[in-house]
Amino acid sequence: MEIHVYDTYVKAADGHTMHFDVITKEQDHEKAIDYAKKWLSSIGEGDSKVTTEECQFCHSQSAPDPVSQAIEKDGYFIQKMDGCP
């Protein structure tokens, strides 16, 4: 499966920055932003600002099996980087 990676930096409610990648099978910026918002809501950060400034297309690549399986199940995968719970 080819995946598309959106590099995302979002300010949390307490002011720290969370860095994560939104990974999708469709290269669709609006869907990537929606997935970021959905995930942020699931961790209690639903009020965080996510626009094309915070969530930017980075690159496409082939997906490892665990990522492919998560995308098939949920439509997206979040790769947590810095400052994420």
Task: Find the domain containing 9 and state its range.
Answer: 2-80
Tell me the pLDDT band of 60, cut-offs 50, 70 and 90: very high
Residue 85 domain flag: no
Count of alpha carbons within 13 angstroms of residue 67, beta-carbon side: 18
8 contacts 36 by C-beta, under 8 angstroms: yes
Secondary-structure breakdown of the chain: helix, strand, coil percentages, each rounded to the nearest 5: 30, 35, 35
- For 40-50, write each residue's pLDDT tens digit: 999 999 999 99
Domain count, the chain: 1
Residue 54 domain flag: yes
Task: Determine the pLDDT at residue 57.
Answer: 98
| CATH (domain of 72) | 3.10.510.10
Residue 13 domain flag: yes
Task: Determine the pLDDT at residue 50.
Answer: 97
Q: How far apart are CA 70 and CA 77, in angstroms?
A: 6
What's this model's pTM, rounded to 2 decimal places?
A: 0.95
Q: How far is CA 67 from CA 51, 63, 76, in A?
A: 24, 6, 8
Residue 25 domain flag: yes
Q: Measured on CA atoms in the order 60, 64, 67, 72, is the torsion positive or negative?
A: positive
Q: C-alpha 8: how far from its chain's center? A: 6
